[in-house]
Amino acid sequence: MIVRLHLDEDDELAQHLDKKLNTPLDWPDTGGLTTEHVAKVAAAAACDVSYDQAANGHLVDLFAALPLPGTTEGQDFWRTLVEAGGQSAWNLVPANAGGPFFDYLLGGNESGIAGRVLSFFEELSDAQRDAVASVIGDALDVQGGARYIGRLWLQDAETTAWHVVLASRKRHVTGEDRERFLQAWRDA
């Protein structure tokens, strides 16, 4: 993880902290934990985009933007998604995925749930991907062309699911594994 070690007064983050949150970098000036210390911790956490909890939460947020299962709008949406995505859509359909689908994701079964999301994408044909993008784009309340917005959602969900899977794998990487990796590249 690469972290910027200092914040400048004219940094975008420093300006945001000072102007929007009324917390200049040296606040409080009595010593101890300052805004700059907190900002450095936040920057360090934000630098690792594969950090599992952040990726898990983002994947949940992407699905939360879609119509809710059990509502009239949600039933129409999921039916239309299955029509557009065919068999692959059954990886995600709430009735098939199970009620606690996202509880599993947030509770520790990250790679299993993310794997289902990736299977959905892997099994889509190009034509189905376009059709699914249109369905999702139509459902999102965002300005722009439905297919374009839907494609952005699909890209984000696919990449985020991959981050979840990768972060799950990285939990088992030790310092020795990292050093072995670095040494192999040094020796190449």
Rounded CA-CA distance 102/144 in Å is 28
Please give the tally of structural domains in the chain.
2
Q: Is 67 domain-assigned?
A: yes
Q: Give 157-160's long-range contacts (Cβ < 8 A, gap of 24+).
A: 157/59, 157/62, 157/63, 157/117, 157/121, 158/117, 158/118, 158/121, 160/55, 160/58, 160/59, 160/62
Q: Using 50, 70 and 90 to split pLDDT, how confident is the model at 175?
A: confident
Per-residue model confidence (pLDDT) at position 108: 64
Residue 71 has pLDDT above 50, yes or no: yes
pLDDT per residue as tens digits for the range 27-48: 677 767 777 767 766 765 565 5
Name which residue leads in pLDDT, 14 or 187: 187
Cα–Cα distances (Å) from 20 to 10, 24, 44, 46, in that order, read 14, 10, 21, 19
Residues 89, 20 share a domain: no
The domain in which residue 25 lies consists of 12-47
Residue 2 has pLDDT above 50, yes or no: no
Name which residue leads in pLDDT, 55 or 158: 158
Q: Is 5 domain-assigned?
A: no
Q: Is 70 domain-assigned?
A: yes
Residues 150, 60 share a domain: yes
